[in-house]
Chain A
Amino acid sequence: AQSVTQLDSQVPVFEEAPVELRCNYSSSVSVYLFWYVQYPNQGLQLLLKYLSGSTLVKGINGFEAEFNKSQTSFHLRKPSVHISDTAEYFCAVSHQGGKLIFGQGTELSVKP
């Protein structure tokens, strides 16, 4: 069975600092990986996805993530965060064509 673990429930960071949000997954088969962002009182919005090919995936708003098959990880990174990046971030995994399983979420709080 698939599962997703987001290792940090909350990540406080100062503006313009780099940030990494960690995600590990468990699956015995090939997977698709996604990062979604949720701003307060809104639905989820896709940041980026990995389906195949290059392990470094670039998304919107300057975010990127690296697929590491040996470590079963898909960590999200941004070199310099803004106040507007404050939100909840969800990692998700699906077996090709299967159900999308979400992690518990990481609350990113960017302070001035």
Chain B
Amino acid sequence: EAGVAQSPRYKIIEKRQSVAFWCNPISGHATLYWYQQILGQGPKLLIQFQNNGVVDDSQLPKDRFSAERLKGVDSTLKIQPAKLEDSAVYLCASSFRHGQSPLHFGNGTRLTVT
């Protein structure tokens, strides 16, 4: 099966600019996650979708971050405006069913904010 696809792989922007990341999950996976992984730390959940509805966005900085999953398939994560501390790898993951099913991760987008 095809894995989780993410683009771009790398992005460099200046602070206060905006950026968007795209994710295409594994076909048939209802649950989609966006994680932020800062260098030297474990991934931190930003937002979880079940189909096209938001299940958990408690750690999403909503003043600057937004995410959508139109039609319950692809998803986009946006940052506007970016701050230096947003430099991280943004990982998208999907699972067949939340809870017991393992998460399948994409290769991530490495964001550098200068």
Contacts and interface: CB of A to CB of B under 8 A. Distances in A.
A and B physically associate: yes
Interface residues of B, number: 22
Interface string B36-52: 00001111110010000
Contacts of B42: 4, 90, 92, 102-105
B81 interface: no
A82 B40 CA distance: 23
A43 B41 contact: no
A97 B43 contact: no
Interface string B73-114: 000000000000000000101000011101111111000000
- Sort A-B residue pairs by CB-CB distance and give the 7 closest, nearest first: A43-B105, A102-B42, A97-B99, A46-B102, A44-B105, A43-B107, A102-B43
Nearest to A98: B99
A43 B110 CA distance: 11
A41 B37 CA distance: 12
Contact of B102 (A34, A90, A97): A34
Interface size bracket, A side: 20 to 34
B53 to A, nearest CB: 16
B14 interface: no
B43 A44 contact: yes
A99 B102 contact: no
A100 B41 contact: no
Contacts of B105: 36, 43-45
Nearest to A90: B42
A104 B48 contact: no
